[in-house]
Structure 1
Amino acid sequence: MDLNENRPTRRRGAELEAAILDAAWAQLAERGYSGLTFEAVADRAGTSRPVLYRRWPTRAELLQAAVEFHGDRQDTSSPDTGSLRGDLLAALRRSNDKRSDFLVLLSASLGEYYEETGRSPSDVREFLLGRHRLSIDVILDRAVARGEADPDRLTPLVRAVPYNLYRHEVMMSLHAVPDRTLEAIVDEVFLPLVTPRDE
């Protein structure tokens, strides 16, 4: 009988780092920044604290790495339903399904992190989004090409309206947003702002 048969495989490099960052993300989601301790993450990942310290000397660096790692695995494709309304609703529903918990975390669980580092929720959102082109930009460019949106009315502030309203709803309720509210954001607020006016 091979004595090594039941021994766990020693993880190294990218595999170990992924396991640690998955563990850090899960710990952050469950316990917030106050619960993001090196001991808890090491236990959850099945490794030791010195392994974490060698890669991320501070909790703040570990948080940033975990959020960036999670963001890199998010679906950032832009829905293409054939209409601006359909695309926006599909994108907002995906965010509601996949990211509302993260937005709650930004709002409710990272106060100590912001105080400790001088960072803001906007900074942490940038960690999540990374280098990805925003879905809303692709959606709006397609809408302009189809004649559904007036490019002159798509100022930076107007372009941000759907997701700014969505984030506000999540952060005020600390829950995912009802679908009827997503539809109201699109139909009652955004589309009237950007639809070309009749000459």
Structure 2
Amino acid sequence: MPERRRGAALEKALLDAAWEELAENGYARFTMDAVVRRAGTSPPVLYRRWSDREELATAAIAHVLRESRLDVPDTGSLRGDILTLMREINATRVQLLTVMSAHLAGYHQATGTSPGDLLDPVATGRKEAVDVLFDRAVDRGEIGPERLTERIKSLPFDLLRHELLTTFAPAPDRVLEEIVDTIFLPLVR
């Protein structure tokens, strides 16, 4: 007989099951019953926590975004830090970005949200993490803070996301270097 899950372990299992359902079937076919079956639990267990599929989907998305945060590199240079972070995203996040964009279109339509609402750097904690890279570069004298608008700070990652969503595959390293060396760094120097 399997061990009974409780508390945080149960909630994680439910959110993991919900994310797997969203990733495989999209929001249009996402049901509370499917999550119950996948998690091997009962409807009351799920409904005690989330009252409907929108609430559960939102919680599952927030859960996967929290669990997928990457460590902030410290290579000693802005170029090295940005490239290291982009390479890690490129190597590990293609599926996540694809699911977030393609499979959740129905979710965005039903909830009136946009992918930007879910990927908001402030809400996900990504802003603080990435700001550390730029603060270090300013402290080292590599760049001046006056050039660091929020749009410019997000630019290399926005271009990478565009590349990944255009190809549904990791970008070649030469593309990452081109984004950093010919587009991003000239803007901040």
Q: Provide, for residues 158-189 of structure 1, a one-character-per-residue CA deviation record: whole Å limited to 9, x for no partner.
A: 11211111111122222222221111110110
Amino acid at match of 1:181: V
Match of 1:113 in 2: 107
Q: Provide, for residues 129-166 of structure 1, a one-character-per-residue CA deviation record: whole Å limited to 9, x for no partner.
A: 53454432111111111111121211222112111111
Is 2:50 the partner of 1:56?
Answer: yes
Aligned partners of 1:24 and 1:63 also within 8 Å: yes
Aligned partners of 1:71 and 1:129 also within 8 Å: no
Shift of 1:9: 1.9
Match of 1:71 among 61, 65, 73: 65
Q: Provide, for residues 99-138 of structure 1, a one-character-per-residue CA deviation record: whole Å limited to 9, x for no partner.
A: 2212111221112111111011011213995345443211
The aligned runs of 1:97-176 (5 Å cut-off) are: 97-126=91-120, 130-176=124-170
Aligned partners of 2:26 and 2:104 also within 8 Å: yes
Match of 2:79 in 1: 85
Shift of 1:18: 0.9
Q: Which structure 1 residue ranges, 5 or more long, are not aligned?
A: 1-6
TM-score, normalization by structure 2 = 0.91
Amino acid at match of 2:130: I
Moved more, 186-195 or 124-133: 124-133
How many angstroms apart in 2 are the aligned matches of 1:66 and 1:123? 14
How many angstroms apart in 1 are the aligned matches of 2:124 and 2:101? 19
Q: Provide, for residues 24-44 of structure 1, a one-character-per-residue CA deviation record: whole Å limited to 9, x for no partner.
A: 112222222123221221111
TM-score, normalization by structure 1 = 0.86
Q: Which structure 2 residue ranges, 5 or more long, are not aligned?
A: none
Larger Rg: 1
Shift of 1:194: 0.9
CA pair 74-109 structure 1, distance change in 2 beyond 3 A = closer
Helix, strand or coil at the partner of 1:28: helix
CA pair 97-35 structure 1, distance change in 2 beyond 3 A = farther
How many angstroms apart in 1 are the aligned matches of 2:126 and 2:67? 11
How many angstroms apart in 1 are the aligned matches of 2:37 and 2:164? 32
Aligned partners of 1:104 and 1:174 also within 8 Å: yes
Shift of 1:82: 0.9
Helix, strand or coil at the partner of 1:35: coil
Q: Provide, for residues 77-107 of structure 1, a one-character-per-residue CA deviation record: whole Å limited to 9, x for no partner.
A: 3100111111001111111223221211122
